[in-house]
Structure 1
Amino acid sequence: MSHSTLNSTLVSTEEERAGRWSGRNTDKDRLRSEIWERLERSGLNIGPVWSRISNWVGAEAAAKRLSELPIWKNASVVKCNPDPPQIPVRLRALYDGKLVYMPVPEFGTGELPWVLLDPEKLSREGVQFEMAATSQGAVNVGQKLGFEDMMPLDLAVCGCVAVTRAGGRTGKGGGFADLELGLFRDLGKITETTPIVTTVHSSMVVEDERLPIMAHDSLLNWIVTENEVIEATPSGHQPGGVVWDLVQPDQFEDIWFLKALKQKILAARDMAARG
């Protein structure tokens, strides 16, 4: 291997290990790296680890624990992130007869950013739930929708890399979960009482002080691991909606619908303020 090829490979590996969105918050960057390294070193990962919501041994057990909670049993409409460790969550939701909303990974490029999985419709069409519960399967067979077309949610499931018992969370660093939850609040799809939950490996639960809470961060109400159920005790209030001043310039550039949706939301806010 030439020096130039070797250097290129090393740079690529270092960038992946740092995370695609590293540099926005050094404390969270450091914590994510620790979690990813610990998961990889333990051998409890399933597939790639770095710069993603990585999969882990025990995800099925966590999904089962979640499905036994009243917040799950009372939910008819569930939103779930598209990442591998939440495949068991999406699968249980379909078998339990729930409507499932899943975002197109990173909101796609020019296509409607959400898919709706209706278990009754999938059954009529002969689609196996096991296929529909995968990220690509959902994109292939689900009904494509925009944010404004969605029904109000009974439960919101987020993918996380690290969480705290105070309800703090961080994902892979791209800001997609906090942005979508802010948009849901602005559009009336969730309220203060809508449970926000995650399933994570127990090694991803860290001390409260390790995870700084920012103004735009949505807080978890429930954390479910392979070993336990944690009812979080958030120390602050949820954001009222998108904190537009904190949206990154690259998010406006990369998320194709965001500028237009921002204009609609701000116009609606202005109209409401005028009475």
Structure 2
Amino acid sequence: MDLHALRLSHPFLILNNTNTNALSLRNTILGFNRRSRRWLKLEATNTNGAALDEAAFEAERLALDAEARSAMAQQGQASISDSNDPKAWKWIIRKRIWDSMEAHNFAQNPRPVHHRIPNFVGASSAADKMRSLDVFQAAQCVKVNPDSPQKQVRFLTLSDGKKLLTPQPRLRTGFFSILESNMLPPGTIKEACTSVGVAKHGRPIGLDEKIKVDVIVIGSVAVDPKTGARLGKGEGFAELEYGMLRYMGAIDDSTPVVTSVHDCQLVDDIPVEKLLIHDVPVDIICTPTQVIFTNTSIPKPQGIYWDKLSPEKLGQIRILRELKKRIERETGQKLPTGPSEKLPPTARRGQRG
């Protein structure tokens, strides 16, 4: 957009936020009217001159998520039915939690909660308990997953003047985006906590970004309060995000990992000895009624475990392909590849670049 072409009836301070999102969807042009003391949105276009179609963006996201959940449902059922599948026990626990949350009406929209990080009654209360943690209050930058039950955590992070680091859903279109309250127009913090809001207002970062993350907030389907063992929804993106942040030097073993769940998601039957090397344990659990320090002794992942990463998953996530090429170029050695797997349709359709 050519700012010189703007004709304004009142004096404005023009701010051009050229931080496009990972899809290069838009630039945000804001004007502050000095006389009325109000912010006005003058124009919002991408580098090709096309405005972000919020309805289309959200419709595509929901459609792709529905496809992914359908495929994960098939994978989970097949795993449970196969007595030789080493991942069957995880799916049995997940299904038990999802079924229980729906049966007892602990679930909140979006429903059904199956094959999601489940939203739950009291999620805001759990977020408030997280906000009271010393590690959260002292944090300057908090990485929060993009799922519904952690929406209030994202809101509190921005409201408290902290940097919010949040991933693109399923790392489908990019990597991470950074948001700060001082880069948002007044009254848009709630919007910035949604997928569309991140696309509109977030600043995407790359692997070379120099950033220190003080707290990681991670979504869970089930978590053991005695050991810190955790199960996600089964796609492995939280582990990949953690591994990439380790590669960037943004986190280390001392970075606290916190989750917020309903009390019914606390379990005691996750076998620690069956966890994989890339599974991320949690240090602190916040529920609507309590805060639990797990004092976990489970080792945290040290990076990306390429020998566990399938060619299909690698093909799904552009940032991982870039990272693999970079490491191979810098070391002069070819990295290993994990066994093949069947991925949801979303993974194939979501490829870009």
Residue deviations 1:66-117, cap 9 Å, x none?
A: 00010101100000000000000000111110000110101123xx321111
- Partner Cα distance (2:259, 2:161) in 1: 20
Is the CA contact (8 Å cut-off) linking 1:86 and 1:159 kept in structure 2?
yes
Is the CA contact (8 Å cut-off) linking 2:229 and 2:298 kept in structure 1?
no
SS in 2 for 1:100: strand
Is the CA contact (8 Å cut-off) linking 1:82 and 1:103 kept in structure 2?
yes
SS in 2 for 1:131: helix
Is the CA contact (8 Å cut-off) linking 1:84 and 1:135 kept in structure 2?
no
Letter in 2 for 1:19: A
Answer yes or no: is 1:29 the counterpart of 2:91.
yes
- Partner Cα distance (1:78, 1:233) in 2: 21
Is the CA contact (8 Å cut-off) linking 1:113 and 1:146 kept in structure 2?
yes
Q: Which position in structure 2 is the counterpart of 1:174?
A: 235
Q: Which position in structure 1 is the counterpart of 2:188?
A: 128
Q: Which position in structure 2 is the counterpart of 1:200?
A: 261
Is the CA contact (8 Å cut-off) linking 1:157 and 1:196 kept in structure 2?
yes
- TM superposition score normalised by structure 2: 0.67
Q: Which position in structure 1 is the counterpart of 2:139?
A: 75
Question: What is the aligned counterpart of 2:291 among 224, 229, 239?
Answer: 229
Moved more, 136-145 or 187-196: 136-145
Q: How does 1:65-104 map to 2 (within 5 A)?
A: 65-104=129-168
SS in 2 for 1:148: coil
Q: Which position in structure 2 is the counterpart of 1:43?
A: 105
Gaps of 5+ in 2: 1-65, 80-85, 334-353
Superposed displacement of residue 18, structure 1: 5.9
Is the CA contact (8 Å cut-off) linking 2:229 and 2:270 kept in structure 1?
no
Letter in 1 for 2:321: K
Coordinate RMSD, CA, aligned: 2.3
Is the CA contact (8 Å cut-off) linking 1:94 and 1:118 kept in structure 2?
yes
- Partner Cα distance (1:80, 1:236) in 2: 21
Answer yes or no: is 1:185 the counterpart of 2:246.
yes
Is the CA contact (8 Å cut-off) linking 1:31 and 1:210 kept in structure 2?
no
Question: What is the aligned counterpart of 2:317 among 255, 259, 262?
Answer: 255
CA spacing shift, 1:244–1:143, aligned 2, 3 Å: same
Is the CA contact (8 Å cut-off) linking 1:16 and 1:50 kept in structure 2?
no
Is the CA contact (8 Å cut-off) linking 2:177 and 2:203 kept in structure 1?
yes
CA spacing shift, 1:219–1:245, aligned 2, 3 Å: same
Superposed displacement of residue 135, structure 1: 2.6
Is the CA contact (8 Å cut-off) linking 2:172 and 2:316 kept in structure 1?
no
Superposed displacement of residue 121, structure 1: 1.1
Residue deviations 1:104-146, cap 9 Å, x none?
A: 101123xx32111111111xx3352111112322222211222
SS in 2 for 1:79: strand
Letter in 2 for 1:143: R
CA spacing shift, 1:91–1:254, aligned 2, 3 Å: same
Query: Which structure is higher in RCO with an 8 Å CA cutoff and minimum separation 6?
Result: 1
Residue deviations 1:134-162, cap 9 Å, x none?
A: 23222222112224325110011111111
- Partner Cα distance (1:71, 1:190) in 2: 14
Answer yes or no: is 1:19 the counterpart of 2:81.
no
- Partner Cα distance (1:136, 1:150) in 2: 25
Residue deviations 1:6-30, cap 9 Å, x none?
A: xxxxxx99x7496365347111111
Gaps of 5+ in 1: 1-11
- Partner Cα distance (1:205, 1:265) in 2: 39
How high is the sequence identity, in percent, across the aligned residues? 33
> Looking at CA atoms only, which structure, 1 or 2, has the larger radius of gyration?
2
Q: Which position in structure 2 is the counterpart of 1:118?
A: 180
- TM superposition score normalised by structure 1: 0.85
Higher helix share: 1
Residue deviations 1:241-275, cap 9 Å, x none?
A: 1111111333112112212212324555679xxxx
- Partner Cα distance (1:63, 1:262) in 2: 36
Is the CA contact (8 Å cut-off) linking 1:17 and 1:51 kept in structure 2?
no
Is the CA contact (8 Å cut-off) linking 2:171 and 2:317 kept in structure 1?
yes
Q: Give the total of aligned pairs.
A: 255
Is the CA contact (8 Å cut-off) linking 2:143 and 2:216 kept in structure 1?
yes
